[in-house]
Amino acid sequence: MEVLIGNVSLEVEQSGAGDLALVFLHYWGGTHRTWTKLTAELESSYRIVTYDMRGWGKSGAATNGYSIAALADEAQSLIEHLGLSKYVLIGHSMGGKVAQLVASRNPPGLAGLVLVAPATPTPSHFPEEAKQQQIHAYDNRETVIQTISFLSAHRPDAKMVEQIVQDSLSGTTEAKLAWPTSAIDEDISAEVSNISVPTLVLAGELDRLDSIEQHRREVIARIPGARLEIIPHSGHLLPIDEPVRTAKAIDSFLKRYRS
């Protein structure tokens, strides 16, 4: 369904049922479809909310509003629109950085935070060559496939590769450029120290973009009480590489804090 948030129409998908909602925020280059295999494992126990961030997938385009703060505002506005009284934020990579900022505001109804291979709250400090590679990661089909090869620990099947290609190429120019040229280097490290809900950080054992040590140093050390769990055989794309293992880790975490 389409939900108008401000002046942008967001594509929102809902499934499942339960008193606790799980709100998923996708990575840079993803859409709500990134989560499909993972959420299939959870929808029997939880209300599932996935959506395309502005400029991606079927959501509307915008010439601005791609800062971490703007994307966090958008997520909060959507949650309020849907009337979610109790929910957990689950953010992947870029979506993880957005989720960290939302959680740092301690909004009403937030019951927990799951960060899936999250971008750090500190600036990336990537060398210029790496930044240029990111800027051109989603130029065309060939560059997307090259990016998949780097981010995934094992090449997804042909159907999933095609989905990722379509999703990555769906982004507007503004959405594609905002992350590698600006948002990735925003510093929200002071804000995340205010996070007060139970927090789980999931890291891919074979992640070549964000190492396990980086998660320990830049994320775990900055969020009070956060705990780290490593997902075996996974690269940066945990929801695609290991959706079942990742879903089980999320479910176990949620059951631990609900009991």
**Sites in the chain below the pLDDT cut of 70:** 259
**Euclidean distance between CA atoms 193 and 188, whole angstroms:** 9
Q: What is the pLDDT of residue 86?
A: 97
Contact 35, 26 (CB under 8 A): yes
Give the Cα separation of 150 and 236 in Å (integer).
9
Name the residue range of residue 33's domain: 2-258
Chain Cα centroid distance, residue 48:
14
Give the integer Cα–Cα distance in Å for 159 and 143.
17
Residue 108's alpha-carbon distances to 21, 80, 170, in angstroms, are 13, 10, 33
Surface-to-core class of residue 198, CB atoms within 10 Å of its CB (0-12 exposed, 13-18 middle, 19+ buried): middle
Please report, as a single letter, which amino acid is at residue 228: L
- Written as one string, the DSSP assignment of 163-222 is HHHHHHHTS-HHHHHHHHHTGGG---HHHHTT--S-EEEEEETT-SSS-HHHIIIIIITT
CATH number of the domain where residue 132 is located: 3.40.50.1820
pLDDT at 155: 87
Task: Write out pLDDT tens, residues 40-83.
Answer: 999 999 999 999 999 999 999 988 999 999 999 999 999 999 99
Domains of the chain: total: 1
> Distance (Å, rounded) from C-alpha 66 to C-alpha 102?
15
For residue 257, the model assigns a pLDDT of 78
Using a 10 angstrom Cβ sphere, with 0-12 exposed, 13-18 middle and 19 or more buried, the burial of residue 153 is: buried
Encoded tokens for 191: 């804000």
Task: Please report the pLDDT score of residue 126 as a whole number.
Answer: 81
pLDDT for residue 89? 99
Total residues belonging to the chain? 259
Answer whether 3's CB lies under 8 Å from 49's CB. no
Neighbours of 175 (CB within 10 A): 22
Say if pTM beats, i.e. exceeds, 0.85: yes
Degrees to nearest 5, angle at CA 183 with 181 and 187: 120
Q: How far is CA 43 from CA 23, 168, 183, 195, 240, in A?
A: 12, 25, 31, 26, 17
Mean pLDDT of the chain: 96
Residue 6, by phi and psi: left (phi above 0), alpha (psi -120 to 50) or beta? left
At 259 the pLDDT is 56
